[in-house]
Amino acid sequence: MPSLTEAVAVSAPGLLVGVTDWCTHPADLGAAVRIGGTKNPDVPAVVALRPDLVLANEEENRAPDLDALRAAGLRVLVTEIRDLPGALRELEGLFTDGLGLARPGWLADAGAAWARAQPVGAWSAFVPVWRRPWMVLGRDTFAGDLLARLGVRNAYADHAERYPRVPAEELRAAGCDLVVLPDEPYRFGAGDGPEAFPGLPAALVSGRHLTWYGPSLAEAPVVLGEALRAARRF
């Protein structure tokens, strides 16, 4: 899980023995072995590393893989994060209870940064996370909670699904003030995404700051706020 990898690597260098293929921060992860993706990990490779603890997330990791790791005798800690308070609470538990370490300084900085954060507007938006087919943030998501704290109301926050598939024509007719396009998990950019919604301001935002729960949380209010304000100026 890239978020958890960065959180541990920044706080306790040298503890990581294995990381996913998608773990990119920090740039130097030392001798950590790549063990596949979150949805398709190389379970035998993880077992062979004999880690003291496997960190996982209930949304990103599949239950059968986690069950296989437990059956092999490994301790597995599964985070469940749906909003900012939950992220701060789960991360503190990971370090203090899971790893037996002190609460990292960046976690306090993240809490303080979001406590100071003010709405940058009062706008409605939809937030695609995939294309072909179009999928958007629905109910009960960490990213949706961060945006709400910055004054952006997710038009699909009351949807029955957390990541519903919504046709582009329905999104265009939703009557929103802007579309928020993160660069992950789908890599939306200036030439891939905004053209589908002509006339609608598009906020191109950092997926790491919108969806990761780790050290990036401390700077996320400023980074996301600037991207949202820039979109509304045009």
pLDDT of 23 = 80
* Cβ atoms of residues 149 and 117 within 8 Å: yes
| 132: CB partners within 8 A, 6+ apart | none
pLDDT of 203 = 97
pLDDT digit string (tens) for 128-161? 999 999 999 999 999 999 999 999 999 999 999 9
User: Rounded distance, CA 151 to CA 146, Å?
Assistant: 9
pLDDT digit string (tens) for 47-81? 999 999 999 988 888 999 999 999 999 999 998 89
pLDDT of 41 = 85
Domain pair 2-113 / 119-232, same fold: yes
Task: Report the chain (234 residues): mean pLDDT per 10 consecutive residues.
Answer: 86 85 81 84 90 89 91 92 93 90 93 96 96 96 97 96 96 96 95 96 96 94 96 71
What homologous superfamily does CATH list for 2-113?
Nitrogenase molybdenum iron protein domain (3.40.50.1980)
Chain centre to alpha carbon of residue 68:
25
* Cβ atoms of residues 129 and 156 within 8 Å: no
* Cβ atoms of residues 188 and 182 within 8 Å: yes
Question: From the CB of residue 208, how many other CB atoms can be counted at a distance below 10 Å?
Answer: 22
Token pair of 171, please?
A: 């999104």
Q: How many alpha carbons lie under 13 Å from residue 55 in its C-beta half-sphere?
A: 23
Residue ranges per structural domain of the chain: 2-113, 119-232
CA R_g for the chain: 18
Token pair of 231, please?
A: 């979109």
Token pair of 44, please?
A: 């035998």
CATH for 119-232? 3.40.50.1980
Q: Which amino acid is at 111?
A: G
pLDDT of 9 = 87
